[in-house]
Chain A
């Protein structure tokens, strides 16, 4: 009786405790959900009573103020993160953007559809899957459109490292550090308009005509594709010298180009640590690039390209020093120069030194002061520049007050009125960065931002 009853009782006990229990399998979803985040940036800039289209050489490391473009930029990011019973996880990311680079003050008539190239754009859309059992807990694979491993200067705001385009990759842990491989492609002419040419000009009777209205217009279609591709190898997080090192190596190629401009290489070493031994953080990097990879070596995207003569060296170091509870100071030192040619200019040299002390008055108010010195020069005659245009020295001083609200539901909005003063060493240099009159400019503006 005992031997018979025990298994029976056990079976019944199991049946009782597990009845209604749904079968659980490895593909059961444990966590699932959509996250929606966004960002808005509205920069109202005025000079002498008009809005302006220039960024005063900010993209060329000549200034570091707040006077960037984008009168009305809005971003929405949608992420779907799913975790499964067997430990596998997946991410789906869509990052959309409207108005990045707009400089007009738009009105309510719907004129955003005119005179502008920055419209609704999908900046990233990719899927990432990780911890697949046969690949390992620390391995993930991705595919789609994204900007992989981006880094930008603190005060210049310029991206110096990324692989932006459509591609796929794999990332894992090797010796405790992050290691990855990816292939990313970008078309420089993606989205460019068809080209047209004027054909024969003749009257109805076939005789030649000088009246433009009699000319035919030929549609030549889009230019031949010159797709760029980069094969990225990276190894991040190597602990040494009181910080961590990141290594990047990129082999680039471009389709339908001559043999002297169809390939390139780029490499960089990045060192992350505290603020040169003090409280804070810094990121210091050195990069080399040649050929297609001439743009800071590791800054790959639709803008890449170059021939055998294109060789450059890039150095940057930026970070934030925490001085006291209320005082912080950001700084950036960047040097970007040709070893032979850069962007077609012989001996091109650019550098920027900038600091930004910031004082937190209270939770709702912060004061920011920015000072920068930018320099650019090249061999006489580069890009057709001669005389005063050959060398540019630009000083930029800015004061801004940042009003912010610790709103907890719809993110954290801030409104930042600023006055920026830009002084060039001569009128030719001033003209090079978009100053219309004289050698200096005062820009007043209000930059409002919200993160939610």
Chain B
């Protein structure tokens, strides 16, 4: 007994000494991005195909740095694979004691123009459990025809922020009807780096005919055919007049044969490849 009391007395003494000499300074967080940007436009990004059911990834010092409307940021970029038409995507950004990447998502079309933006306000804060950390989570859909590309990054304004999540003791107390305990809810700092996860669930698979020439992954098309950003598109990413004419001729022929299915496929293909006149041609033919 004496030993137990002595041990406890020692623990309490250590505690008090600890109080007297406790460091109260916190580590200054650094959210500045000094690394050079990798690319002049979204089209130059390197894309990771969204394959499998889950992709664990980190955004860290080895990640690409891009120039976004809000300034520079580390980012990760993903592209739908060619065999998926529509994909349900769950993005989770894990909250660790070291911090969390407050995510922003931009969805791009095949011309690398921004179609949709998902800000931090659209994310839900999911509490952790026995098998998972607390996280920012958002579910969205991507479509090969309209939004084949997705970029995750964290604008500087987000990186300066922080989030306070309820202490698990408080969550349990609320569940059990206990009084709110005297605990401080942990504050998780937003950081420029973070651990994230993509949960992938294809909703529609994309099929194609053997005669169809364009079956390569979207990324390949993008690398070879698709113009760059919206700003650059008109200037330096125009389709060759010969190609333009080829598509228009083929569309005319298909409509002439009353093969609307083929005509529409050609139209889609032409649009994806950057044609500016194919749609007009098609509409004119239909009007006749």
With A362-B22, A408-B96 as known contacts, state yes or no: A37 contacts B129, CB within 8 Å: yes
* Chain A positions within 8 Å of B184 at CB level: 360
Q: How far is the CB of A146 from chain B (nearest CB, A)?
A: 10
Question: CA separation between A362 and B18, bound complex, in Å?
Answer: 10
Which of B130, B178, B206, B288 is A38 in contact with, Cβ under 8 Å? Answer: B130
* Contact A419 B8, beta carbon cutoff 8 Å: yes
Task: For the complex formed, measure the closest distance between the CB of B92 and the CB atoms of chain A, giving whole angstroms.
Answer: 12
Does A162 make an interface contact (CB < 8 A)?
yes
Residues of chain A within 8 A of B268, CB atoms compared? 16
Q: A153-B179, A361-B22 are in contact. Are A444 and B8 (CB under 8 A)?
A: yes
Q: From residue B202, how far is it (CB to closest CB) to chain A in Å?
A: 10
CB-CB under 8 A from B178, the residues of chain A are 150, 152, 157
Least CB distance, A25 to chain B, in whole angstroms: 15
Partner of A417, one of B8, B145, B169: B8
Q: How far is the CA of A385 from the CA of B265 in the complex (A)?
A: 94
Chain B contact residues: helix, strand, loop or mixed: mixed
List which B241-288 residues lie within 8 A (CB) of chain A: 260-261, 264-265, 268, 286-288
| Residues of A with C-beta under 8 A to B128 | 408, 411
Closest to B261 in A: A12
Distance, CA A365 to CA B23, complexed state (A): 11
In the complex, which residues 1-42 of chain B have their Cβ closer than 8 Å to any Cβ of chain A? 1, 4-5, 8, 11-12, 15, 18-19, 22-24
**Residues in chain B near residue A2, CB distance under 8 A:** 286-288
Are B130 and A21 in contact (CB-based, < 8 A)? no
Q: Is the CB of A406 within 8 A of B97?
A: yes
Please count the residue pairs between chain A and chain B whose beta carbons lie under 8 angstroms apart in the complex.
135
Interface size for B (C-beta < 8 A) is 51
Residue of B nearest to A449 (CB): B169
A residues less than 8 Å from B145 (CB atoms): 17
Given contacts A320-B182, A408-B97, A419-B8, whether A9 and B260 have CB atoms under 8 Å apart is yes
Known contacts: A6-B286, A320-B182, A399-B12. The answer to whether A451 contacts B5 by CB under 8 A is: no
B161 at interface by CB-CB < 8 Å: no
Q: Are B182 and A328 in contact (CB under 8 A)?
A: yes
6 A-B pairs (CB sep. < 8 Å):
A12-B261, A17-B145, A36-B131, A150-B177, A446-B8, A452-B168
Closest to B20 in A: A361
| Interface: B180 (CB within 8 A) | yes
List residues 393-415 of chain A with CB under 8 A from any CB of chain B.
Answer: 399, 401, 403, 406-412
- Any A CB within 8 A of the CB of B232: no
In the complex, chain B residues whose CB is within 8 Å of the CB of A359: 19
In this assembly, does B85 line the interface, its C-beta being within 8 Å of a C-beta of chain A?
Answer: yes
Q: A278 at the A/B interface (Cβ < 8 Å)?
A: no
Contact A159 B97 (CB under 8 A): no
- Contact check: which of A16, A36, A407, A446 meets B130 at CB < 8 Å? A36
CB distance from A392 to the nearest CB of B (A): 25
Complex Cα–Cα for A17 and B97 (A): 45
With A150-B177, A320-B180, A358-B182 already in contact, the answer to whether A408 and B129 are too (CB < 8 A) is no
Contact A444 B177 (CB under 8 A): no
A9 touches B12 (CB 8 A): no
Q: Is A5 an interface residue (CB 8 A)?
A: yes
Which residues of B are found within 8 Å of A194, using beta-carbon distances? none
Interfacial chain B residues near A147, Cβ < 8 Å: 176-177
The answer to the question of A20 belonging to the interface, with a C-beta cut-off of 8 Å to chain B, is yes
Which residues of chain A are near B23, meaning CB under 8 Å? 362
**Is A149 touching B177 in the complex (CB atoms < 8 A)?**
yes
Query: A419 to B12, Cβ gap below 8 A?
Result: yes
Given A159-B177, A318-B179, A9 and B172 contact (CB-CB distance below 8 Å): no
**B contact residues vs A (CB 8 Å cutoff):** 1, 4-5, 8, 11-12, 15, 18-19, 22-24, 85-86, 95-97, 128-131, 133, 139, 145, 167-169, 171-172, 175-180, 182, 184, 186, 203-207, 260-261, 264-265, 268, 286-288
Write the nearest CB–CB distance from B17 to chain A, whole angstroms: 11
**With contacts A16-B264, A365-B15 known, is A151 near B8, CB below 8 A?**
no
In whole Å, how far is A68's beta carbon from the nearest beta carbon of chain B?
Answer: 13
What total of chain A residues lie within 8 Å of the partner, measured CB to CB? 68
In the complex with contacts A150-B176, A451-B169, A8-B18 CB distance below 8 A: no
Residues of B within 8 A of A293 (CB): none
Q: How far is the CA of A48 from the CA of B116 in the complex (A)?
A: 69
Given contacts A16-B261, A367-B19, whether A152 and B177 have CB atoms under 8 Å apart is yes
Does A13 have its Cβ within 8 Å of any Cβ on chain B? yes
B133 adjacent to A39 (CB under 8 Å): no
Neighbouring A residues of B86 by C-beta, 8 Å? 21
Does A77 interact with chain B (Cβ within 8 Å)?
yes
Complex Cα spacing A144 to B128, Å: 26
Question: A356 contacts the other chain (Cβ, under 8 Å)?
Answer: yes
Residues of A within 8 A of B206 (CB): 20
**Given that A22-B203, A452-B130 are known contacts, is A13 also in contact with B264, CB under 8 Å in the complex?**
yes
How many angstroms between the C-alpha atoms of A83 and B167 in the bound complex? 26
Interface residue from A21, A159, A330 paired with B204 (Cβ < 8 Å)? A21
Give bound CA distance, A37 to B128, whole Å: 8
A73 at the interface (CB under 8 A from B): no
Q: A152-B177, A362-B24, A417-B11 are in contact. List 15 more A-B contacts (CB 8 A).
A: A9-B264, A22-B203, A36-B129, A46-B4, A48-B1, A150-B178, A152-B176, A362-B23, A365-B19, A408-B133, A412-B167, A444-B5, A451-B167, A451-B171, A452-B130
A172 contacts the other chain (CB 8 A): no
Complex Cα distance, B71 from A81, in Å, reads: 39
Within 8 A of B (CB), among A19-57: 19-22, 31, 35-39, 46, 48-49
